[in-house]
């Protein structure tokens, strides 16, 4: 019965013993859900998204076999019945877009099997005291869209029991008007992997966030009042922040050995007029010089046998690559012959830049935060040009991503040390100079410009000099 646009009503009561799934999603004129009579224990899925239902009857609690309750985009829904706690097998509760729903039932915590709650873009601003009893909860989204965020001056209120959610792995609190103090309540969420705090009012974040010992993904974009980055957990792998925090974030790389992707956003950047010309005194150029100078020697680990990153990527809002990148191209991929004896003891690695469009998010079917932003992969190859059949192609794939709200141009940098190309290779390479061709491409993107620079120890004086040269050095301090 999905998408029956003209369906206005159902019988006053229903009793269908063998029914396993009921899908009324998209029945936009349906205002009432019938009373439940008798046994319907086989019903495991109830999907009522995009209907005009204002409330559910209390008898809905008799649906004791329900594991999925989808009420997303029910914009007239104002309340949930207290009897929902009787749905003891409920695992997924989707309330996304129920913009008039202001409260959870006080006994929500009695749903001991609940694993996922999506209450994004609702009017809920306080969690019930029982919320901490959801011992199996893994995914929670309470994010607010831009309109809902500005409709309320208050911030989301957490119960003292919130830290008891020991299984919580994914938490989205973007746009919840948080000021920072609330984060102390999260320090006990030791299973947390992904945390989205974007679009909040932070000036400072407490260092207690570093106690999230499993945290891999942190989004702080559009936190325009944030003065400095907090101390992060050593487990952090991906960091998304505003570009005015770029120097701090880059200088912090050595402190976080698993942080392989740092992505910056700047909403005002997309409003600027387009230009293909490179500005060699741009913020990007400053960041690249900082990254490639010897101040960052300990950013990558000189061994594949460790938990330390072996390469890293930076995404920056910019439209062109600095002119000092020696090898440049406007083709779909970049491919060039390496100089003779390019691989000397002085050689360190390849700096690869690609200008392409990213952002606006990817709306995947899962609720993982890392699936909600735009990402792709840069692939680098070393190829033997004389006898390619004799030597295996050396490849390295690096992830780049953006959580920007706008689909706009950015520069993706991948720094790939030479030894990282050996990852997963069963044999040792005696002479890298047998490889004479370097190639780079980007998946599922149309590149505007490529740039590759070979990094040597002796050549980094160039980057040091630019860092200490007038305005460039001054703006990075």
For the segment 15-27, what is each residue's pLDDT rounded down to a tens digit? Answer: 888 899 999 999 9
Q: What's the chain's average pLDDT?
A: 86
Residue 149 has pLDDT above 80, yes or no: no
Residue 335: helix, strand or coil by DSSP? strand
CA distance 55 to 227: 44
CA distance 241 to 153: 24
As a whole number, mean pLDDT of residues 230-242 equals 94
Q: Which of 3-12, 41-50, 166-175 has the lowest mean pLDDT?
A: 3-12
pLDDT for the residue 147: 62
Q: Which of 387-391, 396-400, 469-473 has the lowest mean pLDDT?
A: 469-473
**Quick one: pLDDT band at residue 471, thresholds 50, 70, 90?**
very low
Q: What separation, in Å, do the N-terminal and C-terminal C-alpha atoms of the chain show?
A: 62
Judging by beta carbons within 10 Å of its beta carbon (0-12, 13-18, 19+), is residue 90 exposed, middle or buried?
buried
Q: Answer whether 211's CB lies under 8 Å from 189's CB.
A: no
User: Half-sphere exposure of 433 toward its Cβ, with a 13 Å CA cutoff?
Assistant: 8
pLDDT for the residue 112: 94
Residues pairing with 337 in the sheet: 437
H or E element, residue 151:
helix 146-151
What sections of 158-282 are H helices per DSSP? 246-251
* Alpha-carbon distances of 457 from 438, 452, 468, rounded to whole Å: 20, 16, 18
Residue 267 has pLDDT above 80, yes or no: no
Q: Which of 286-290, 303-307, 367-371, 443-447 has the highest mean pLDDT?
A: 443-447
pLDDT greater at residue 216 or residue 462: 216
Q: Which of 38-42, 152-156, 239-243, 283-287 has the lowest mean pLDDT?
A: 152-156
pLDDT for the residue 283: 81
Judging by beta carbons within 10 Å of its beta carbon (0-12, 13-18, 19+), is residue 184 exposed, middle or buried?
middle
Q: What is the pLDDT of residues 153-212, one digit of tens each?
A: 578 899 999 999 999 999 999 999 998 888 888 888 999 999 999 999 899 999 899 999
pLDDT for the residue 470: 43
- CA dihedral sign, ordered 240, 246, 250, 253: negative
As a whole number, mean pLDDT of residues 57-65 equals 93
CA distance 421 to 460: 22
**Quick one: pLDDT band at residue 361, thresholds 50, 70, 90?**
low
pLDDT for the residue 465: 82
Q: Which of 67-71, 84-88, 307-311 has the lowest mean pLDDT?
A: 307-311
Q: Answer whether 134's CB lies under 8 Å from 158's CB.
A: no
Q: What does the chain come to in residues?
A: 477
Looking at domain 1-166, its CATH superfamily turns out to be Ribonuclease Inhibitor (3.80.10.10)
Whether the predicted model's global pTM rises above the 0.85 cut = yes
pLDDT for the residue 238: 95
């Amino acid at each position: 019965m999905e998408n029956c646009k003209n369906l206005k009503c159902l019988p006053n009561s229903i009793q269908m013993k063998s029914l396993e799934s009921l899908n009324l999603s998209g029945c936009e004129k349906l205002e009432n859900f019938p009373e439940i009579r008798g046994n319907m224990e086989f019903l495991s899925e109830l999907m009522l998204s995009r209907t005009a239902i204002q409330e559910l009857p209390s008898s809905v609690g008799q649906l004791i076999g329900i594991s999925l309750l989808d009420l997303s985009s029910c914009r007239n829904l104002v309340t949930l019945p207290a009897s929902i706690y009787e749905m003891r097998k409920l695992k997924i509760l989707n309330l996304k877009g129920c913009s008039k729903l202001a409260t959870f039932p006080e006994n929500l915590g009695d749903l001991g099997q609940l694993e996922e709650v999506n209450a994004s873009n609702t009017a809920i601003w306080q969690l019930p005291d029982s919320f901490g009893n959801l011992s199996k909860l893994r995914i929670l989204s309470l994010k607010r869209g831009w309109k809902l965020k500005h409709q309320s001056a208050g911030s989301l209120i957490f119960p003292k029991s919130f830290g008891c959610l020991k299984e919580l792995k994914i938490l989205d609190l973007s746009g919840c008007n948080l000021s920072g103090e609330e984060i102390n309540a999260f320090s006990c969420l030791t299973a947390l992997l992904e945390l989205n705090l974007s679009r909040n009012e932070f000036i400072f974040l407490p260092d207690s966030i570093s106690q999230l010992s499993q945290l891999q993904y942190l989004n702080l974009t559009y936190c325009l009042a944030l003065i400095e980055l907090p101390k992060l957990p050593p487990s952090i792998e991906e960091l998304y922040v505003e570009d005015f925090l770029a120097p701090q974030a880059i200088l912090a790389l050595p402190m976080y050995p698993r942080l392989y992707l740092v992505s910056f956003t700047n909403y005002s950047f997309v409003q600027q007029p387009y230009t293909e010309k490179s500005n060699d005194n741009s913020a990007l150029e400053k960041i690249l010089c900082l990254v490639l100078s010897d101040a960052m020697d300990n950013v990558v680990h000189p061994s594949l046998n460790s938990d330390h990153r072996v390469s890293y990527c930076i995404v920056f809002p910019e439209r062109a690559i600095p002119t000092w990148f020696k090898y440049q191209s406007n083709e779909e991929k970049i491919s060039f012959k390496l100089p003779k004896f390019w691989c000397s003891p002085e050689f360190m690695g390849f700096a690869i830049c690609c200008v392409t469009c990213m952002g606006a998010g990817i709306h995947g079917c899962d609720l993982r935060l890392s699936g909600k932003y735009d990402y792709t992969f840069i692939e680098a190859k070393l190829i033997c040009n004389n006898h390619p059949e004799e030597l295996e192609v050396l490849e390295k794939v690096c992830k780049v991503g953006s959580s920007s709200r706008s689909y706009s141009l950015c520069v993706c940098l991948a720094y790939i040390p030479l030894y990282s190309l050996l990852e997963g290779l069963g044999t040792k390479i005696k002479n890298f100079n047998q490889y004479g061709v370097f190639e780079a491409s980007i998946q599922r993107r149309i590149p505007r410009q490529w740039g590759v620079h070979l990094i040597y120890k002796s050549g980094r004086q160039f980057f040091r000099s630019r860092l200490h040269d007038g305005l460039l050095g001054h703006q990075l301090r």
